[in-house]
Structure 1
Amino acid sequence: MQAFYEYINGARILDVLKDLLTNEDSNIRAKACSALGNMCRHSPYFYDSLARHHIINPLIERCTDPDRRTRKFACFAIGNAAYHNDLLYEELRKSIPPLAALLVSTDEDKTKANAAGALSNLVRNSNKLSEDIVSKGAMQALLKLVSECSVLALDPSRREAVNESPLKIALFSLGKMCSHPPCLQFLRSSELLSVIARLRQSQEPIICNYASNIMRKVSDT
Structure 2
Amino acid sequence: MIDHRSLVVELVRKGLLNPILMKSLLDDSSPTQVKVKALKIVTGLAEMDKEFYELIDGADILQQLKAFLTHDDPEVRAWTCTAIGYMCMRSSYFYSLLAKHNISSLLVDLLFDKDVFPRVCAVFAIGHMTLFSEYFYEDLRRCIHQLAKLLLSPGMHNITKRNVAACLNNLSKHSDKLSEDMISKGAMEALLKVVTDYSVVALDPNRIDDVKESPLQRTLEALATMCKHQPCRQFIRSSHVYPAIGELRD
TM-score range (shorter-chain normalised) is 0.7 to 0.9
* 1:170 pairs with one of 215, 219, 243: 219
Matched, 1:117 2:166: yes
| 1:56 pairs with 2:92 | no
Question: 1:21, 1:33 within 8 Å by CA — same for their partners in 2?
Answer: yes
Deviates more, 1:7-16 or 1:117-126: 7-16
Which structure is richer in relative contact order (CA contacts within 8 A, separation 6 or more)? Answer: 1
Matched, 1:98 2:146: yes
* Partner Cα separation in structure 2 for residue 27 and residue 151 of structure 1: 37
Task: Work out which of the residue numbers 141, 147, 152 in structure 1 matches 2:190.
Answer: 141
Rg larger for: 2
Query: Where do 4+ consecutive residues of structure 1 move more than 3 Å?
Result: none
Match of residue 21 from structure 1:
69
Distance 1:6 1:127 in 2: 32
Q: What RMSD in Å do the two structures reach over aligned CA positions?
A: 1.1
Q: Are residues 1:66 and 2:97 paired?
A: no
| Cα deviation 1:66-86 (Å, max 9, x = unaligned) | 222222211111011111011
Which segments of 5 or more consecutive residues in structure 2 lack a partner in the other structure?
A: 1-48
| CA apart distance, 1:157 | 1.2
What TM-score comes out, normalization by structure 2 length?
A: 0.78
With normalisation by structure 1, the TM-score equals 0.88
1:160 to 209, 233, 246: 209
Which deviations, in whole Å up to 9, do the C-alpha atoms of 1:144-170 show, x marking residues without a partner? 011111111111111111100110000
Matched, 1:179 2:228: yes
Give the whole-Å Cα distance in 2 for the aligned partners of 1:139 and 1:104.
12
Identity of aligned residues (%): 48
Q: Give the gaps of 5 or more residues in structure 1.
A: 202-221
- Measured in 2, the distance between the counterparts of 1:45 and 1:153 equals 39
- The residue number in structure 2 matching 1:80 is 128
